[in-house]
Amino acid sequence: MSADPHYQAKEEAHTGPIKNPKQLLLAVFFSFVAPILIIVGLVAYVVSDNKPAGTAEGDSMALYGVSQDTRDREVAERLKKVGTIEIRDANRPLAAGDAVFKAQCAACHAPPGIPGAPHLNDAAAWGPRIGQGYETLLDHALHGKGAMPAQGGGDFEDLEIGRAVVYLANAGGAKFPVPERPAAAAAPADGAASAPAAAASK
């Protein structure tokens, strides 16, 4: 049967590219040993101190035009706390209405301002708004209305925003009184204070 030519052709067709032990050793070497040597060489390169210029941190920052101060500021910005607490002096004098207007309202309400916003000294634009009353105008200023953003919670107290509302409205023809801080609650009379003390002593 081995003399049959069809059988020999089938035998040769099923043989692989490795025909002798020398070829087998070369295949093993290139399949396993060469990748291991390449990995070892890469690890040695990474941990060595001999690297091309520009890979050190300072060199890479200089390469991209970033100074150490800029990098430190960026890191501090990313690490800053989300919220902050601001303590204000409750006894400081209130800002005048015109000062609050100039600081916070003038961009939209001073002529030429934004179209649709009632401008300072424009009695025709302020007339219908004044008819709504001071409380409504203050609410619109503090919480916003239409395209106007809320003005409360910023650099000024709500009472100071109210003073700016009065300044604007009065310039447009209103006669609103300028709001002041409420007076502190009066101290209890001596008799009222001594009565609980006498009751406690019994």
According to DSSP, residue 3 is labeled T
pLDDT, residue 40, reads: 93
106 or 85, which is more confident?
A: 106
Enumerate residues 6+ apart whose C-beta is below 8 A from 193. Answer: none
156 occurs within a structural domain: yes
135 occurs within a structural domain: yes
106 occurs within a structural domain: yes
CA-to-CA dists, residue 48 to 44, 58, 137, 186, angstroms: 6, 18, 72, 79
pLDDT, residue 14, reads: 63
The per-residue pLDDT of the chain, averaged, comes to 77
- For residue 18, how many C-alpha atoms fall within 13 Å in the half-sphere facing its CB? 8
pLDDT, residue 38, reads: 92
Partnered with residue 155 across adjacent β-strands are none
146 occurs within a structural domain: yes
CA-to-CA dists, residue 144 to 119, 152, 188, angstroms: 16, 9, 40
53 occurs within a structural domain: no
CA-to-CA distance for 160 and 173, rounded, in angstroms?
20
Domain extent for 146: 97-171
186 or 64, which is more confident?
A: 64
What's 146's domain CATH number? 1.10.760.10
154 or 141, which is more confident?
A: 141
pLDDT tens for each residue of 125-144: 888 888 888 898 888 888 88
Q: Find out whether the peptide bond into 112 is cis, omega within 30 degrees of 0.
A: yes
CA-to-CA distance for 187 and 122, rounded, in angstroms?
45
Which pLDDT band, with edges at 50, 70 and 90, does 10 fall under? Answer: low
Q: Minimal CA–CA distance to 108: which of 95, 96, 122? A: 122
CA-to-CA distance for 193 and 200, rounded, in angstroms?
11
pLDDT, residue 55, reads: 47
16 occurs within a structural domain: no
Q: Above pLDDT 90, what percent of the chain?
A: 3
pLDDT, residue 71, reads: 86
User: With a threshold of 0.85, does the pTM exceed it?
Assistant: no
Q: Minimal CA–CA distance to 100: which of 59, 65, 152? A: 152
pLDDT, residue 21, reads: 87
133 occurs within a structural domain: yes
27 occurs within a structural domain: no
pLDDT tens for each residue of 23-56: 888 888 888 888 899 999 999 988 887 655 544 5
Looking at the structure of the chain, the number of domains it has is 1
In terms of C-beta density within 10 A (0-12 exposed, 13-18 middle, 19 or more buried), how is residue 110 classed?
middle
201 or 31, which is more confident?
A: 31
